[in-house]
Structure 1
């Protein structure tokens, strides 16, 4: 199979029929063998009913329905797990991503041998303060921390080789940083293509301030995991040992200084009255706690289980 097109969605009933017709026209024009997988992330409108109707009429259309809203990352994770195409395309369901971009993205994966190609919405139609400015800030921070040189990490329109989607784990809200996850998994040929961004035709944007805050927290998480995710002891253990040494050396200095004062028959200040005593004690306690945190992290890493992160209530043509 040439292509799998994954479309996570939440309450996009108005746009689904038009999006389906558009994708179908592009697929037929290029003679692709394909599947379109709609992942309904707990919609409360008629989205799932429309997906059912489309899947009954067209066996190329498949659907996954979550019991409730688990998030876009979980939706993509479920789609990646069942994707059969040699090339996997992800796109949003709000008609802001153009299916006409699919052939060029497909060719970049197949002919130019990219592992991943991310769309770049160079000209955007979003509100500057509501989404455009935060996106620029996210992208700048992601480039600085990951060394992946993309202009638009969070563009929903991306193309992947099948081996990439089968070897990355998208969880939490890490869909923003899939290129970084791919790089950390060893897929280094990551490209970018300028794609057309269209103004929203139906519904309302799901972007809010909570996503702005969560995005930065996720960026810190992925930076930490990329450097120390497999070896937490290297960070916490090193910091713990350093803090303990600082505290121990401070305590030793206080003790030696007190003994010196006594040896020359000078009045010595009580150890408990010396502020360095509390500084050294605190440093040793923090050092011990950091070391234990690294040790526990290593144990958890070696004994973690793969608990399901979402529940599927229905499927179509799978």
Structure 2
């Protein structure tokens, strides 16, 4: 109840809340993170291109690494045809780990993803770490000496990125690496800028403003190649063979009609094909990735299986 009440107080609407029947997008984190970005960008463009008649209301509902929003949709808004929820690899990871209190992916319907958000490792501007290998060497020498903050819960996708990087660098004691899960990428960066953690693990769209302000430095981007417009080296070119790319998409309540689901898929596809979204991807360092409708649901099901296997491999679940 406390988290829900707080979400109502801090939930930010993109525009003035619309009348009854206006579309709503729940961002399962505080303002400033990747899920918040998804709702605000997709919702704005839907309205700008005429896919929806009224401005999309954005509600921030942080809690349990996306679990509060997921269970709210399943238990209270299962047939709400005007509701969409921001989703990503982090959502799939938590479902794969049974971290949403027994909730399962088939209780909602995954509409699609229309952008790939490369993972990043970020430090404060005055950090002694000058490269990813500097940081990983310190972790190899003493796994508990370097701490990270991320916008997903412990065991979530942001946490897994750190563990996979350490594993690829030859670190064996993965469980001693310190990680703090907070409610969104902006909160994670604040922890790092404030000196509470040594690094932030998140996604490209979450750090653009902080890079431009000079508050942080990005040690690595976890994509195959550097992101155009951003002078950030990849982990691969620093000798660490690891990539971590986070798709950005939506799910809707499981109880809505097939017809309404198809309408949501069409609206999301229209956003993906718009000039506005192409520019948003450039501005925020996103890579092209479009999968919408039934094919995306199959992709999510396969991803949950692979994430569960990875989580067992590194000891997150049994």
TM-score, with length taken from structure 1 = 0.24
Give the number of the structure whose residues are more often helix, by fraction.
Answer: 1
Give the number of the structure whose residues are more often strand, by fraction.
Answer: 2
* Structure number with bigger Rg: 1
Higher relative contact order (CA 8 A, sep 6+): 2
